[in-house]
Amino acid sequence: MDDGRSVRKMAIETQGRRHERLIALVLVICVLAVGFWEIMARRSSRAFQSFALTSSDFYGFAPASASWAARSLPVSPDPIEPNIAAYEVWSTKDREQTTSSSFALASLPLPLAASAPIFVRLVHGYNMPDCMRIKGYKVELQEDSRLRQKATARHGRLNGGVREIDDREQTHMIQVWRLTSATGDTAIWITGMLKAGDFSETDVDVRSMAFPRIGIPDDPGWLPHGVTMKSLTHPLRNFRLLLRAKWNNARCNLATFLRLKQPAWADDELLTLVVASPFVAINGGESSDCTGDGNASVIAREVEAYGFMLNELQKWRARMNNVGSRDGERPRMRGGK
């Protein structure tokens, strides 16, 4: 009888020691997990690294040709600023024709005002469509030369609802976007992805850039204020909006959402060349179809401006690289490792 009790007592004590060891192991794992999360959270909150290519590298760059002129626009000198260079460009030929005509520029329909300036920006690789969606614009892809195939008609053919650009029209790797503001103003923007090393074109989709990728744009009428009496009146709605804002701030990345990874920033190896018309360039009287005469003329001018700026950038890049190689020094323009 005593032997049976002793055996049961020893079994209970053994089982208790196993539970204690299991609990201790779980606690150690929890401590390690929290420590790992703390380390990663601190690393993810560190400042972004400076870009290799900055606005200072474009000192002395003055793009100009027989057909196009440009005026430099101010850009922040901050080394972590995505914007590298910005210019206002215009066709000298069109401006001379408009100036010599009997009609003033202000009296012309805006899509026909060929002398109106076009704005060009060179930016470290970023997701332009999502960036503008964050600002409240509707962004629609109109044309994509990356999908280019043999065209069967002068204006190309549709591929999944997106018009392919005819090989005879242009050869640049670009995407054409239609932006519409909340007030209905519309503009045409063109984007192209370039290599930072030599400014050569790539077939990268601008939408593949992680910064600033978002899911659903934040509600513009909602701002997080913590737990307040007002927020408690609609707790589920406010919690959903809070999660949406956190997810967008994490660039739709789970590791970033959990603070295990630094939020995505603009790319240092790829650059985005953006060509934009003013938001009043296409009025409501024009056809909403991108093949309409008004829109087509704006797109054609922007494609020419894109080609002009790309050519000037590539010549400038090659000249700076050649100077550095000839002097036996590192080229002044440092982007593209």
Give residue 210's identity as a one-letter amino acid code.
Answer: A
Can you tell me the distance from the alpha carbon of 99 to that of 116, in angstroms, rounded to the nearest whole number?
A: 12
Condensed to tens digits (0 to 9), the pLDDT of residues 48-104 reads 788 989 998 888 899 999 999 999 999 988 888 899 999 999 988 766 554 444 334
pLDDT value for 102: 37
Query: Are the beta carbons of 115 and 107 closer than 8 angstroms?
Result: no
Most confident of 28-37, 75-84, 98-107, 108-117: 75-84
Condensed to tens digits (0 to 9), the pLDDT of residues 274-331 reads 999 887 545 444 444 444 455 788 888 999 999 999 999 999 888 877 765 555 544 4
Query: Are the beta carbons of 51 and 79 closer than 8 angstroms?
Result: yes
Can you tell me the distance from the alpha carbon of 262 to that of 151, in angstroms, rounded to the nearest whole number?
A: 44
Query: Are the beta carbons of 336 and 53 closer than 8 angstroms?
Result: yes
Can you tell me the distance from the alpha carbon of 249 to that of 263, in angstroms, rounded to the nearest whole number?
A: 8
Would you list the domain boundaries of the chain?
1-46, 55-213+264-326
Q: What is the mean pLDDT of residues 121-137?
A: 93
Query: Are the beta carbons of 190 and 169 closer than 8 angstroms?
Result: no
Q: Which residue has the higher pLDDT, 156 or 11?
A: 11
Give residue 63's identity as a one-letter amino acid code.
Answer: P
Q: 190: which residues sit within 8 A by CB, 6+ positions away?
A: 174, 175, 176, 177, 274, 275, 276, 299, 302, 303, 306
Please give the model's pTM, rounded to 2 decimal places: 0.72
Closest by Cα among 188, 164, 160 to 176: 188
* Ramachandran region, residue 199 (left: φ > 0; alpha: ψ -120 to 50; beta: rest): left
